[in-house]
Copies of this chain bind each other. A is one copy, B any other.
């Protein structure tokens, strides 16, 4: 472990992060919304805070190894979550506790989109902008993490992507090609955002709303500048644009990278994960449409409209809303939240366990049945015609069981504070899957939840975003030995 080098990196990271407060400062200046002071103070605090961490270690150099990668990744999200909360702590409108500020900041950076705020429409523009902006930055971080770092760390079977995606490969040094990869991904991500913004704007949003919503759409974050979320606009066109960009952002960015570099689109159709993702979505939408229509919840056209939007929004783990779940047959919201466990594709801004893992698990479940019928046959698990290494498969299993174990423990933790079972169930799903909204008490927001639960849910958001193991491994003595 190179603790000093890590401190230097984290200090630098915080200083760079303080620069991200400049755009909300400009927004506050433009709108004269009264939040300027909070952001200016926050800027100084973060810059100085970063410098204090960096200064004592500024001369330490050294190559970072894989094990350092775990620590840096965890520190990146937790430390930035902490510093990201400073403007929320300082602002007087809204007046927020430290716990609520941290919750909002972690929720934004992990692109979860669970909020403790109420009456969002009346908040200062710079605060609204900042939440969306944090999601966008978080989304960018997730892409780099997923494409460049996770395959190297090999968390939860993600070594699967080592050979196929760009990024530093097969050696144990955490250095060269990350920067190059990150730059290409940044172009793709920024381009998607720009196009999405223009789309929303052309479809009738104000430019401010268009920009803010494109941030949270491309990041699959789900924050909005309105309490009614996308439903505020009541526009089929805006919903269609949102749906399209949620889908694009929930695909593996490795595919976008390939499209960018090779000017090709056909590989999207050949990708097993993408195929399975659309199959799952199509099944969910069909089922939801039929159920909404035959139960006369809405007419057919409205049923299909809402079914498409809500299914995509929840299955991709974006968490935008257009309609009121409380009038739906109550097993549908349950079913939709179950789909968020699959979530987006690997290396996307989506949450959940990732479609590729569910696909691998189902394939192996099917193999077990084959083995029962043909006990002596050797049957490999294949994805896209390629046999998957036993090691990747077992890493995926490990991930799956750790995910569920953590899920149940968090649920028990929440219930121990007195929260009812349905709320606890959906609150943990909403945070661990980086989804956002839940059911029961947390259907609209997390304001009424007690503080210990908010801390547990912050932890859940980080666990989800860090693919569980990246964070869990730090709690083992083994990690810290030698």
Given A402-B368, A405-B365, are A330 and B394 also a contact pair (CB < 8 Å)? Answer: no
A421 touches B422 (CB 8 A): yes
B372 touches A70 (CB 8 A): yes
Chain B nearest Cβ from A38, distance in angstroms = 39
- How does the 8 Å CB contact mask read for A355-382 relative to B, with 1 for contact and 0 for none? 0000001101101111111010000000
B400 touches A369 (CB 8 A): no
Of chain B, the residue at the smallest CB distance from A413 is: B331
Q: Which of A122-130, A138-146, A261-269, A471-479 lines the interface with chain B?
A: A471-479
A469 touches B368 (CB 8 A): yes
A393 at interface, CB cutoff 8 A = yes
Of chain B, the residue at the smallest CB distance from A408 is: B338
Q: Which of B334, B371, B425 contacts A154 (CB 8 A)?
A: B371
A395–B364 alpha-carbon span in the complex (Å) = 9
A399 at interface, CB cutoff 8 A = yes
**A402: which B residues are within 8 A, CB to CB?**
365, 368
A412 touches B473 (CB 8 A): no
A371 touches B393 (CB 8 A): no
Number of copies: 2
A281 at interface, CB cutoff 8 A = no
**A478: which B residues are within 8 A, CB to CB?**
369-370, 373
- Which residues of A from 257 to 292 have beta carbons under 8 Å from B? none
B368 touches A334 (CB 8 A): no
Counting contact residues on chain A (CB < 8 A from B), the size range is 35 or more
Given A365-B401, A368-B394, A369-B473, are A375 and B421 also a contact pair (CB < 8 Å)? Answer: no
**A365: which B residues are within 8 A, CB to CB?**
398, 401-402, 405
A338–B371 alpha-carbon span in the complex (Å) = 30
A447 at interface, CB cutoff 8 A = no
A246 at interface, CB cutoff 8 A = no
Q: Which of B335, B372, B425, B479 contacts A469 (CB 8 A)?
A: B372
Chain B nearest Cβ from A394, distance in angstroms = 7
- Which residues of A from 389 to 442 have beta carbons under 8 Å from B? 390-391, 393-395, 397-402, 404-405, 408, 411-412, 415-416, 420-422, 425
A67 at interface, CB cutoff 8 A = yes
A155 at interface, CB cutoff 8 A = yes
A247 at interface, CB cutoff 8 A = no
A390–B365 alpha-carbon span in the complex (Å) = 15
A220 at interface, CB cutoff 8 A = no
A41–B404 alpha-carbon span in the complex (Å) = 50
A421–B172 alpha-carbon span in the complex (Å) = 47
Q: Which of B330, B367, B469 contacts A421 (CB 8 A)?
A: B330
Given A402-B368, A421-B330, are A476 and B412 also a contact pair (CB < 8 Å)? Answer: no
**A415: which B residues are within 8 A, CB to CB?**
330-331, 334
**A67: which B residues are within 8 A, CB to CB?**
373
B469 touches A369 (CB 8 A): yes
Chain B nearest Cβ from A44, distance in angstroms = 38
A153 at interface, CB cutoff 8 A = yes
**A398: which B residues are within 8 A, CB to CB?**
364-365, 367-369
A371–B67 alpha-carbon span in the complex (Å) = 11
Of chain B, the residue at the smallest CB distance from A470 is: B372
**A375: which B residues are within 8 A, CB to CB?**
66, 154, 172
- How does the 8 Å CB contact mask read for A334-359 relative to B, with 1 for contact and 0 for none? 11001000000000000000000000
**A404: which B residues are within 8 A, CB to CB?**
404
Of chain B, the residue at the smallest CB distance from A402 is: B365
- How does the 8 Å CB contact mask read for A182-217 relative to B, with 1 for contact and 0 for none? 000000000000000000000000000000000000
Q: List 8 A-B contacts (CB under 8 A).
A: A66-B375, A154-B375, A338-B408, A362-B401, A365-B401, A369-B478, A397-B397, A421-B421
Q: Report A's interface with B, CB cutoff 8 A.
A: 66-67, 70, 153-155, 172, 329-331, 334-335, 338, 361-362, 364-365, 367-373, 375, 390-391, 393-395, 397-402, 404-405, 408, 411-412, 415-416, 420-422, 425, 469, 472-473, 476, 478-479
- List the 7 shortest-distance A-B pairs measured between CB atoms, nearest first: A368-B398, A331-B415, A397-B397, A331-B416, A361-B401, A365-B398, A421-B422
Given contacts A364-B394, A370-B478, A373-B476, list 4 more A-B pairs with CB under 8 A. A70-B372, A154-B372, A330-B421, A400-B401
